[in-house]
Amino acid sequence: MAKSEKYAVGVDLGGTNIKVGIVSESGRIISKTSVKTEAMSGPKVVIKNIKKGINEILKNNKRKISGIGIGAPGIVSTKKGTVQNPPNLPGWDEIELGAIIKKEFGLKVNVENDANAAAIGELIFGAGKKFESFVMVTLGTGVGGGIVFNHKIFRGEIGGAGEIGHVCIDPNGPRCNCGSTGCIEAYAGNHYIKESVKKDLHNHPSSKIWELIENDLEKVSPRVIQMAAELGDVYAKEFIHDLGIKLGVAFTSISNVLDISTFIIGGGVAGFGSPLFTTIKSTMVSRVLTPLKHRIKIVPAKLKNEAGILGASALVFYNT
């Protein structure tokens, strides 16, 4: 470890938990903590909890901190440090989060959209290191996306770029949280996966999923589907295959538009692993425009659970 190594505080602002960590410039997590977001109590309480988490992590810290990086949901202006309408944090119209945290701690603060922060984390510390350009897709409660082009995040006009979850694959498809229909998030979001299997499972009485959930449909989860597939369950395997086709169709459009051929996939649903990745790739290869065909790469994310903290801290060290 270099003596001159720098340290930052990374804050991953989620709808349920706020994860905070001290991270070195090389991506080593020195310490971490987690506090409840209490999103339903509104922005004042959430901001108080962010401060609480940072105070907790700084309490016994003797290292010099270069700054604080925050990954937040919603549309983030990286210049102004504002967070606008985060979907899982009710009551946040537009909050000057950067300025508020800077005033409290007297440190440089960088705020970025959480999906972009995850992409930056993979770019600096993870699976994105060896690529100049890639699309980062996080398959979780929602479907998040971050576009990296020539080592830089592509942010669009107001910081809203990369909303891959809302690429439509069927205008007559299920309703999406965003108000539209047939968005890829309405197929691949955690909640949709659960609901769709719950509805469908009665048509598959011999599925191993029944045993795994002890006949309690409330226990259906992506993890259970994965376990059933690993046991060779035909229905679970078909479900993952079908999801791979849908994601592949959505990613094909993105690849054709951007001329970017590498997709890094993270989040809980990425746990479906190689059966999912193989189907995404074969679907894309059969559909993308010819010059892209031999270049398509589907790569698992490397940072897993700490992606949020690492991505947020990277904001302090690297100007992307």
Smaller CB separation from Zn ion, 178 or 258: 178
Burial 55-87 (b: 16+ CB within 10 A, else e): eebbeeeeeebbbbbbbbbbbbbbeebbbbebe
Smaller CB separation from Zn ion, 25 or 185: 185
Helix, strand, coil share (%) of the chain residues, nearest 5? 45, 20, 35
Contact 72, 86 (CB under 8 A): yes
> Least Å distance between CB 177 and Zn ion?
6
> Least Å distance between CB 187 and Zn ion?
11
Q: Binding to Zn ion (CB under 5 A): which residues in 5-64?
A: none
Burial 258-280 (b: 16+ CB within 10 A, else e): eebbbbbbbbbbbbbeebbbebb
Smaller CB separation from Zn ion, 46 or 186: 186
> Least Å distance between CB 180 and Zn ion?
5
What are the strands of the beta sheet with 29-36, ordered from one edge? 29-36, 17-24, 7-13, 65-72, 109-113
Q: Binding to Zn ion (CB under 5 A): which residues in 96-115?
A: none
For the four alpha carbons of 1, 34, 118 and 266, in that order, the dihedral sign comes to positive
Q: Binding to Zn ion (CB under 5 A): which residues in 122-181?
A: 166, 176, 178, 180
> Least Å distance between CB 164 and Zn ion?
10
Q: Which of 134, 71, 161 is nearest to 302 (CA)?
A: 134
> Least Å distance between CB 73 and Zn ion?
15
> Least Å distance between CB 290 and Zn ion?
30
Smaller CB separation from Zn ion, 126 or 182: 182
Smaller CB separation from Zn ion, 129 or 175: 175
Smaller CB separation from Zn ion, 107 or 178: 178
Smaller CB separation from Zn ion, 183 or 247: 183
> Least Å distance between CB 88 and Zn ion?
15
Smaller CB separation from Zn ion, 134 or 187: 187
Q: Which stretch binds Zn ion (CB under 5 A): 26-34, 86-94, 183-191, 204-212?
A: 183-191
Which CA distances in Å does 45 have to 38, 51, 85, 121, 291? 7, 10, 16, 28, 51
Instruction: State the number of binding residues for Zn ion (CB under 5 A).
Output: 5
CB atoms within 10 A of CB 313: 38
Selected from 22, 76, 183, 264, the binder of Zn ion by CB under 5 A is 183
> Least Å distance between CB 176 and Zn ion?
3
Smaller CB separation from Zn ion, 35 or 269: 269
> Least Å distance between CB 11 and Zn ion?
27
- Name the burial class of residue 177, with classes exposed (0-12), middle (13-18) and buried (19+) by CB atoms within 10 angstroms of its CB: middle
Question: DSSP string covering 290-314, please?
Answer: HHHHTT-EEEE-S-GGGHHHHHHHH
Q: Which of 105, 100, 109, 43 is nearest to 70 (CA)?
A: 109
The residues that touch Zn ion, with contacts defined as CB under 5 A, are: 166, 176, 178, 180, 183
